[in-house]
């Protein structure tokens, strides 16, 4: 991380620098470009929501549990940033009242969630890297991706896209400035600082690897069907989980949750 030391002491700037190459790679993957063109399908979007739910359930559980930790307290903004409740509304919209019984959690999502729970228990400092890349990425790209998703899937209201809305943030630009300032105020030793930067890189790399695998499976996913209407009028994910192709594709689907939002992050 010697390069990071040359760009100043701000943790936010250092994360931006050490993940720069990863960021560019994520932005230019074919699936991300397709998403920007409005070429996401309903089955893909529902997989996204399932993955997001599991990831944020783990992240916000650990942030809540460590809210008084010296590294977490400065960047703990549950009223402004919490995504779990909006995700639950979106999932209920697409899967119906019994959505919890229909959500399938991909294997890759499990791994990411397990990592969040692991560091929440053993090294809460590292939650800073995940919270920053997730929340600021989602906040930066939320408006754009929300409108793209709404138009592509033919949604006539805000139903089904609550995840992209941050009603507690009146000015994303000012809030991101506040968030960076709070994060940069966290006191870390040189070793702790390095580990946070390493964790940010690790998160990006994990997602890019999954993203590349998902791109290879796209044509097979589309050929497997799984289409349907909203408001729960769909083939439940649980009903198709027996297919090896679908199982594998679901295992890769976390990429949309962990990269598609974050690539827009105006770090």
Question: Are 112 and 55 contacting, i.e. CB atoms less than 8 angstroms apart?
Answer: yes
Question: Hey, how many other C-beta atoms are within 10 angstroms of the C-beta on 220?
Answer: 12
Question: Are 96 and 235 contacting, i.e. CB atoms less than 8 angstroms apart?
Answer: no
216 is in an annotated binding site: no
Question: Are 26 and 259 contacting, i.e. CB atoms less than 8 angstroms apart?
Answer: yes
Question: Are 112 and 258 contacting, i.e. CB atoms less than 8 angstroms apart?
Answer: yes
Closest CA to 77 of 164, 161, 181, 160: 181
**Coil, helix or strand at residue 251:** helix
115 is in an annotated binding site: no
Using CA atoms, how far residue 193 sits from 176, 186, 188, in Å, is: 21, 10, 6
121 is in an annotated binding site: no
180 is in an annotated binding site: yes
- Which residue ranges are tagged as binding site for heme b? 16, 23, 132, 180
- Which residue ranges are tagged as binding site? 16, 23, 132, 180
């Amino acid at each position: 991380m010697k390069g990071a030391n040359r760009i100043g002491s701000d943790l936010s700037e250092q994360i931006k620098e050490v993940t720069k190459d990863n960021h560019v790679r994520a932005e230019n993957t074919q699936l991300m470009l397709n998403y920007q063109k409005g070429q996401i399908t309903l089955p893909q979007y529902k997989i996204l929501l399932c993955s997001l739910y599991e990831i944020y359930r783990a992240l916000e559980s650990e942030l809540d549990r460590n809210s008084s930790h010296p590294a977490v307290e400065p960047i703990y903004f549950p009223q402004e940033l919490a995504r779990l409740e909006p995700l639950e509304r979106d999932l209920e919209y697409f899967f119906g009242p019994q959505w919890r019984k229909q959500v399938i959690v991909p294997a890759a999502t499990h791994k990411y969630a397990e990592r969040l729970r692991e560091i929440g228990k053993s090294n809460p400092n590292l939650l800073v890297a995940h919270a920053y890349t997730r929340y600021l990425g989602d906040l930066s790209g939320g408006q754009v991706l929300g409108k793209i998703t709404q138009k592509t899937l033919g949604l006539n209201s805000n139903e089904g896209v609550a995840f992209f809305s941050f009603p507690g943030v009146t000015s994303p630009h000012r809030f991101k400035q506040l968030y960076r300032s709070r994060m940069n105020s966290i006191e870390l030793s040189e070793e702790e600082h390095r580990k946070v930067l390493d964790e940010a890189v690790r998160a990006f790399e994990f997602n890019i690897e999954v993203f590349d695998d998902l791109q290879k499976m796209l044509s097979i996913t589309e050929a497997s069907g799984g289409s349907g209407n909203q408001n729960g009028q769909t083939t439940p994910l649980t009903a198709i989980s027996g297919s090896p192709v679908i199982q594998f594709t679901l295992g890769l689907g976390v990429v949309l949750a962990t990269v598609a939002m974050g690539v827009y992050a105006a770090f």
